[in-house]
Structure 1
């Protein structure tokens, strides 16, 4: 039962990663795209090492009518505009790819 609940919860969860040169507005612009499409940020972590920016966030797409592929396109376009690499994928895929 608990596994079924966890599975249903993670079905709508995505991981968004941003990597690149630090600049003003990266977090704000990513968050704006998510908010505009009713995608809720559940957790966020970011760090800056010298001028190198890295961010990972977990978001919930349950209330969004946007498909993940469309979100990926929007984030990819934003990344090109800002000179950073932005990726989005289902949480399950991310966990599978990064397991030890």
Structure 2
């Protein structure tokens, strides 16, 4: 199963490292990263594969949401199909 991870917030050192380390610790494979920084505003979309993951999507969503809130970032994790349907409009 593929997932889409989106991160929005003020830019700071270590955002990608934090998310990448969490994903790696649960054997989630990063397939693609696209990021933009404009006037200190960070926006990233990451595509990852959970085929070999050792965590459920629900638990991963909670962990990343809580880690993001702790440093004032909005981090969302969605199943790729849900993401595509929501952004079809």
TM-score normalised by L of structure 2: 0.97
1:72 and 2:61 correspond: yes
Distance in 2 between the 1:65 and 1:30 partners? 16
Bigger Cα Rg: 1
TM-score (norm 1): 0.87
Is 1:21 paired with 2:10? yes
- Residue ranges of structure 2 left out of the alignment (5+ in a row): none
- Greater share of helix: 1
Report the number of matched residues.
Answer: 89
Structure 1: gaps (5+ residues):
1-11
Find the aligned partners of 1:64 and 1:70 in 2 and give their Cα distance. 11
Q: Which runs of 4 or more aligned residues in structure 1 lie more than 4 Å from their structure 2 counterparts after TM superposition?
A: none
When the two chains are superposed, the root-mean-square deviation of aligned CA atoms in Å is 0.6
Task: Select the structure that is richer in strand.
Answer: 2
Structure 2: distance between partners of 1:31 and 1:82? 16
The C-alpha deviation readout for 1:8-67, integer Å capped at 9, x for no partner, is: xxxx00000000000111000000000000000000000100110000000000001210
